[in-house]
Chain A
C-alpha cells in the first residue's frame, strides 16, 4: 500500500513538474519575472525580477534538478556582469497549475544579495520581451532634489556598432551626460560615463549600472531600464517615445 502511494506521489509530482520557458511571469505584490534563454548554457536563463516598478535584480537562472532552479544575482563588476558568489540567493520550483506554469521562489542561505523573500509567479502568454538594444529617443521623469514635482528629460540612443557599443546622451536630470553602453551579456549592458579629455581623447568611467531593454508588454511601454546594482538595485525607467 505504502509503495503504491509513493509511486502515485512520484507520478503525480513528475506530471506537474515543468521546465522553465522564456517569457513573462507575473507575481503578486507588483512583481514581474522576465526570462530569456542563455546562449552557450542550454537549460539556463537570464532572468530579471522587477518589483514595484522601482527595484530590479538580474539573475542567472541555472537548472540544478528537474523543475528546480537556482537564481544567482548578477551585478556590474566594472568590466563584466557577473557574480563573486555563485551560491544561488533564491531557489525556484516550477509546477504546472492548471493551464499555466507557476514558479515558487524561496530564499536560499549562503547568498543574501538581491531579493530575499518568497515570491510566486504565474506564466503569461507574453513571449520574452527582452531586446538586445533599441535605438531611439527616450524620456524619463525625475524630481529634482528637494522638489516634489517631476520633470521630463529626454535621452537619445544610437544603434549598436560592431563592438556592441552604443552611445547614449541624457539631456538633463541627475543622470545628464554621455554614456557608452556595452552589451556584455545577451541583452545586458554595462553603462560607462564618457567624457572628453583636454586632448580630445575619450575617457570612460565605470559605473554600477546594468542596462536592459524590454519590449512593451502587460501594459508597459518599450523601456530602457537602468539598474543601479551598487545601490539597492534602484531602477530608472526610460520610455521609448
Chain B
C-alpha cells in the first residue's frame, strides 16, 4: 500500500513538474508590425460609425483584389507584378490611419512586408526575383480573401454586443503559414530565403502566442521562440551557412502546424461558441473538416482544381488555402473543379505528373446543406447503333449524343479490335465513320469518358 501511495505521489509530483515546464515565453511583436510602414494597429473592436466605414472598405478590398487577380491573368508578364502589387498596396493604404486589425488586412500587409524583405535582400534584377515577389503577393491575397467573411462576421457580432468572441489568431497563423511557406521556399536565393523564412516564422509565432488557446500550441511556440533567440535575425555572409540555417528553421514544428492545428483551433472555437451561444443570432462558426481523397460521383478531383470551388462542390462554404495534398503515381481520370464550384472544361489524365494529380487531402470550411445542381456521369464503352466513338471526337458531342449536358475532355481509349467508330463534332453531329485497324496506334475508340449532367 505504501508503495502504491509513494508511486502515485511521485507521479503527481512529476506531472506537476512537467506542467510547470510548459510556461509560455513572452513572444514580442515583430518590430515591423509594431510601428512604421507595416504596423498592424491595435483596433479590434469598432464603433458603429467605424463599422459603417469598415464594411465598404472590406467589400471594396475584396472586389479590388478579385478584379486584379482576374485582370493579371491576361496581362503581359512584365506588367503582372506592378499591377497586383498596386492593388494590394491600395487596399492596405485605403484603411488609412485606422489600420483595422482585421485578418484580411493582416494577410495583405504581411505579404507586402515579405516582398519588402525580398527587395532588401536580393537584387530585383536577378532572374526570378520578380516572379518570387509576384508569387508572394498572390499568395497573401489568397489568404486575405479567405478571411473576408470571418472579418465581417467578427465585426457584426461585436456590434451586436457579443463579448465572447475572440480573434482566431492561431487559425490565421496556420492559414498564413500554409499559404506563404511555399512562396518563401521558392525564393532560391539563400540569403533572401533565410531572411524571409525567419520573418514568416516570427510573425506566425507571434500570432500563435497571442491566441486565446495559445497553451495548445505551447510546444511549437517555445521551440520557435528558442530557435529565434538562437539564430541570427539577419542572414550570414555565405550561402552555405544560410542554407544550414534554413534547414534548421525548416525543422520547426511551426512549419507543419497545418491542418492538425487548424482542426484543433476549430474545435476550440466551437467549444467556445457552444459555451456562449445563448443567442441564435450567433451561428457563425469556422468549422473545418479534413477530407481524405475526396470524390465527386466516384471520380477523383484533380489537384489543379480551385480550392474554394472544390470545397463548394463538396458541400462546404470554402476551402482552406494551402491545404491540398495530392497524389500522382496512378493513371486515372480526375475532374477539375473551377472557382465557381462546377467542373471546368479541363479534365486531366493523371500519371505521376505534377500539376495533373488528384487530391488526397483537403481542408474545407463550414459544411452547408445544399444540393449540387449537376452530377458527373462516367461513360463506359459508349456505343450508338453498334458504333463506337472515335478518339478524336469532341467530348461535348459524345456526351450530348448520350443524353448528357456536356463532356469533359480526356478519356481512356482502346485499340486492339477491328471495327468502326463514329467521329462526333461539338454539336453532336456524326461527321464520318472511321475504320478501326487492329493494333494501329491512333485508330482507337473511347472506352471511358466523363460527362456532366445538369440536374
Give the interface of A toward B (CB within 8 A): 38-44, 60, 62-64, 73, 75-77, 79-84, 86, 112-114, 116, 143, 145-148, 163-165, 180, 182-186, 190, 192, 202-206, 208, 228-233
- B 232-257 to A, binary, CB cutoff 8 A, 1 in contact else 0: 00000011100100010010000000
A116–B250 CA distance with the chains assembled, in angstroms: 24
A116–B327 CA distance with the chains assembled, in angstroms: 14
Residues of chain B contacted by A76 (CB below 8 angstroms): 355
| Distance (whole angstroms) from the CB of B259 to the closest CB of chain A | 15
Residues of chain B contacted by A205 (CB below 8 angstroms): 74
| Distance (whole angstroms) from the CB of B36 to the closest CB of chain A | 28
The 11 sampled A-B contact pairs (Cβ below 8 Å) are A40-B122, A40-B126, A63-B243, A80-B128, A116-B329, A116-B352, A164-B127, A182-B77, A184-B131, A204-B74, A228-B353
Residues of chain B contacted by A233 (CB below 8 angstroms): 353
Interface segment among B95-103, B132-140, B168-176: the answer is B132-140
- Given A40-B122, A116-B329, A192-B77: A231 and B127 interface contact (C-beta under 8 Å): no
Task: Give which listed residue, A44, A63, A79, A143, contacts B80 with CB less than 8 A.
Answer: A79
| B240 & A43 in contact (Cβ 8 Å cutoff) | yes
| A64 & B247 in contact (Cβ 8 Å cutoff) | yes
A232–B352 CA distance with the chains assembled, in angstroms: 6
Q: Which of B75, B77, B190 has the most CB of A within 10 A?
A: B77
- Given A40-B122, A41-B188, A185-B127: A75 and B132 interface contact (C-beta under 8 Å): no
Residues of chain A contacted by B162 (CB below 8 angstroms): none
- Given A43-B240, A165-B78: A229 and B190 interface contact (C-beta under 8 Å): no
Q: Does B191 contact A (CB under 8 A)?
A: yes
| A180 & B77 in contact (Cβ 8 Å cutoff) | yes
| B127 & A184 in contact (Cβ 8 Å cutoff) | yes
Task: Give which listed residue, A41, A77, A165, A230, contacts B239 with CB less than 8 A.
Answer: A41
- Given A43-B243, A148-B442: A73 and B354 interface contact (C-beta under 8 Å): yes
- Given A113-B328, A145-B442: A230 and B356 interface contact (C-beta under 8 Å): yes
| A80 & B132 in contact (Cβ 8 Å cutoff) | yes
Residues of chain B contacted by A186 (CB below 8 angstroms): 127-128
Within 8 A of A (CB), among B116-149: 122, 126-128, 131-132, 134-135, 138
- Given A73-B354, A145-B392, A146-B443: A39 and B77 interface contact (C-beta under 8 Å): no
Within 8 A of A (CB), among B364-394: 392
Residues of chain B contacted by A202 (CB below 8 angstroms): 76
Q: Does B182 contact A (CB under 8 A)?
A: yes
A231–B302 CA distance with the chains assembled, in angstroms: 13
Task: State the majority secondary structure of interface residues on A.
Answer: loop
Task: Give which listed residue, A112, A143, A185, A231, contacts B188 with CB less than 8 A.
Answer: A185
| A180 & B76 in contact (Cβ 8 Å cutoff) | yes
9 other contacts beyond A77-B135, A79-B131, A230-B355, with CB at 8 A cut-off?
A40-B126, A40-B190, A64-B247, A79-B138, A82-B186, A113-B328, A185-B127, A185-B128, A206-B73
| Distance (whole angstroms) from the CB of A18 to the closest CB of chain B | 17
| Distance (whole angstroms) from the CB of B271 to the closest CB of chain A | 33
| B126 & A41 in contact (Cβ 8 Å cutoff) | no
Q: Does B405 contact A (CB under 8 A)?
A: no
| B352 & A40 in contact (Cβ 8 Å cutoff) | no
| B353 & A146 in contact (Cβ 8 Å cutoff) | no
Task: Give which listed residue, A73, A228, A232, contacts B351 with CB less than 8 A.
Answer: A232
Q: Does B185 contact A (CB under 8 A)?
A: yes
- Given A41-B189, A185-B188: A203 and B329 interface contact (C-beta under 8 Å): no
A106–B414 CA distance with the chains assembled, in angstroms: 35
A211–B75 CA distance with the chains assembled, in angstroms: 20
A42–B241 CA distance with the chains assembled, in angstroms: 10
